[in-house]
């Protein structure tokens, strides 16, 4: 078996892409999207019909059209995978719990209108305190959430407290930060701080019997993926999936669940404790803020793209 096939035996493989053709070719179990991936795909000629469809009836409401675009891509992706698709809310709502809940309900409503069962959709929110509280409310309504832009154990703990379905701890962006701030250090292999962060979160969840599942994300190279083989899920860009597919080297499990027989309940974090622990972690604080800003930039670009396509009146 190639390494992609080996990985699929122990980890749910998720395509991190809005490129439907790539998803169709690689046949992952699930897929994730974000504003940057949707923007990238929206500029390809093959997907222009999804934008024009979203504009019908929404020519004067570009925000609604943007929302419909993300759902259109999600619906198309779901035609080619057996599992779920993650659809992200507007990053500019990352510090507004009420608006995040409202936006999530609207997205789910659009999926249901398209005949998609809400169990096939994960609503993706940034793991700010407000985003996590929005997810807690949505989960109680039966809407499953994927908390993204996770760079710290504090964020992972708060997500577990909120009962979210899935978290996406990042790998590559953590490595980027450490390489920039500590260029003299060796971060190869199992010394990669992004890999170590995901392992810490994974082991914390398993040792406490936490049902929230871990999906490693944001990979820079296949070695990072190999170091996390055995994680619940891994969301991987198409180019790295192809590299795994091209190798037949043995791929042993690097992570193994070791849930204790009588897991000791982890102490819930208060808002003050969460914010303080996040503040104490310079990397996590900076990368969370940067990630939100970058997604917001691409959200605006998508709005402008749709604005340019909308017929003038």
187 with 179: CB under 8 angstroms? yes
Point out the catalytic residue in the list 124, 157, 199, 287.
Answer: 124
Element housing 213 (H / E): strand 213-216
Nearest to 240 by CA among 56, 36, 66, 16: 16
Interior angle at CA 246, CA 244 and CA 249, nearest 5: 75
User: CA separation (Å) from 3 to 13, 51, 72, 114, 244?
Assistant: 12, 36, 32, 36, 5
Which position has the token pair 């192809």?
242
Q: Is 157 a catalytic residue?
A: no
Burial class (CB within 10 angstroms; exposed 0-12, middle 13-18, buried 19+) of 25: middle
Residue 246 CA, chain-centre distance (Å), reads: 25
Helix 97-113 crosses helix 62-78 at what angle (to 10 degrees)? 50
User: CA separation (Å) from 47 to 21, 51, 142?
Assistant: 10, 7, 31
Enumerate the active-site residues.
124
């Amino acid at each position: 078996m190639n390494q992609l096939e080996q990985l699929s035996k122990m980890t749910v493989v998720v395509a991190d892409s809005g490129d439907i053709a790539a998803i169709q070719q690689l046949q992952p179990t699930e897929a994730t999207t974000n504003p940057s991936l949707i923007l990238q795909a929206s500029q390809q000629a093959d997907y222009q019909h999804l934008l024009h469809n979203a504009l019908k009836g929404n020519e004067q409401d570009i925000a609604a059209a943007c929302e419909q675009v993300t759902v259109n891509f999600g619906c198309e992706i779901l035609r080619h995978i057996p599992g779920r698709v993650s659809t992200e809310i507007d990053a500019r709502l990352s510090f507004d719990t009420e608006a995040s809940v409202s936006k999530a309900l609207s997205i789910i409503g659009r999926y249901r209108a398209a005949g998609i069962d809400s169990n096939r959709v994960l609503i993706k929110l940034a793991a700010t305190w407000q985003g996590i509280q929005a997810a807690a409310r949505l989960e109680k309504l039966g809407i499953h959430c994927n908390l993204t832009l996770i760079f710290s154990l504090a964020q992972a703990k708060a997500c577990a407290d909120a009962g979210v379905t899935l978290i996406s701890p990042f790998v590559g962006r953590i490595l980027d930060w450490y390489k920039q701030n500590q260029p003299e250090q060796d971060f190869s292999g199992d010394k990669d701080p992004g890999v170590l962060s995901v392992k810490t979160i994974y082991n914390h969840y398993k040792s406490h019997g936490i049902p929230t599942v871990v999906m490693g994300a944001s990979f820079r190279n296949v070695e990072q993926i190999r170091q996390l083989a055995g994680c619940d899920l891994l969301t991987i860009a198409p180019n790295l999936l192809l590299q795994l597919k091209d190798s037949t080297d043995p791929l042993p499990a690097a992570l193994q669940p070791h849930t204790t027989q009588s897991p000791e309940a982890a102490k819930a974090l208060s808002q003050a404790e969460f914010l303080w622990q996040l503040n104490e972690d310079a990397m996590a604080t900076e990368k969370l803020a940067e990630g939100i800003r970058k997604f917001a930039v691409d959200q605006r670009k998508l709005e402008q793209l749709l604005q340019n396509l909308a017929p003038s009146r």
